[in-house]
Amino acid sequence: MTDLPIGPPVDPTPRPLPPRGTKLRGQYVELEPLHPRHAPDLWRAAEAGTARGDASWTYLGYGPFASAAALETFIAEFAAKHDHVVWAVRPIATGVASGWLTLMSIEPANAAIELGNIWLAPVMQRTRAASEAMFLPLKLAADDLGYRRLVWKCNALNAPSRRAADRLGFTFEGEHRWAMTVKGRQRDTAWFSILAPEWPRARDAMLAWLAPENFAPDGTARRGAAEIRAAAR
């Protein structure tokens, strides 16, 4: 034995990989495994965003795409990769696939997993469906698969992504300076996490935020997720 400080013991059992081919369904959105058949819906969603001055591709390492065929080719390759699990995002209100997201950087032995590679068409942004779409994979990872560390990373300049991390209950950890080169530009990466002891409060706050009774008739949230978390301290 040593007198040097060491971390607390944990269950070292490797966590299961997220199941491929599994649908996740909430109150406002359904996630289904991304497939080239989603490409027409996604292309129309992307094209509609372009007409509105879409900035949704700004901080991603890919996109926008020059044609529907280019998008379909990307989706076929993206969905086939084995280092992540990727879902198409389909709001229940419209039935139209309008984005995608992944569980990635999966470390079963460390019980760590990242929610990332999120693209949501402008029509989905700042909606209950968008927030629930991000919440469902986190719930799968933490509650069903037992991951102890949930990770969120983004371009440090990406203010909407940072706000989404806060809304979901992530804690800011710091920035990796000059971490990547994306589309020919230097990127600092902001890191966020939710740890296992923090997850129940984050989960319960998001469930309360998503509850229909939390929204006024005009769709405005009566209480924010951060407010709900604070009240639960």
Residue 150, number of CB atoms within 10 A of its CB: 27
Rounded CA separation 170/135 (Å): 11
Decide: 188 and 156 in contact? Cβ < 8 Å: yes
Which residues make Cβ contacts (< 8 Å) with residue 151, sequence separation at least 6? 105, 112, 113, 114, 115, 116, 191, 192, 193
Identify the pLDDT of residue 48: 79
E strands of 124-184, at which residues? 149-155, 171-182
Q: Which two tokens stand for residue 141?
A: 């990872």
Identify the pLDDT of residue 232: 78
Decide: 18 and 85 in contact? Cβ < 8 Å: yes
Which residues make Cβ contacts (< 8 Å) with residue 181, sequence separation at least 6? 187
Residue range 30-70, pLDDT digits in tens:
999 999 999 999 999 998 766 555 789 999 999 999 999 99
Rounded CA separation 233/194 (Å): 16
Which residues are registered as beta bridge partners of 180? Answer: 187
Residue range 160-187, pLDDT digits in tens:
999 999 999 999 999 999 999 999 999 9
- Average pLDDT value for residue range 15-28: 96
Rounded CA separation 114/141 (Å): 9
Residue 19, number of CB atoms within 10 A of its CB: 11
- Average pLDDT value for residue range 15-37: 97
Dihedral sign for Cα 121, 162, 167, 105, please. Answer: positive
Give the percent of the chain with pLDDT over 70.
97
Kindly indicate whether the domain formed by 24-231 is annotated with CATH number 3.30.465.10.
Answer: no
Q: Which two tokens stand for residue 211?
A: 């509850």
Q: Which two tokens stand for residue 139?
A: 């719930």
Domain boundaries, the chain: 24-231
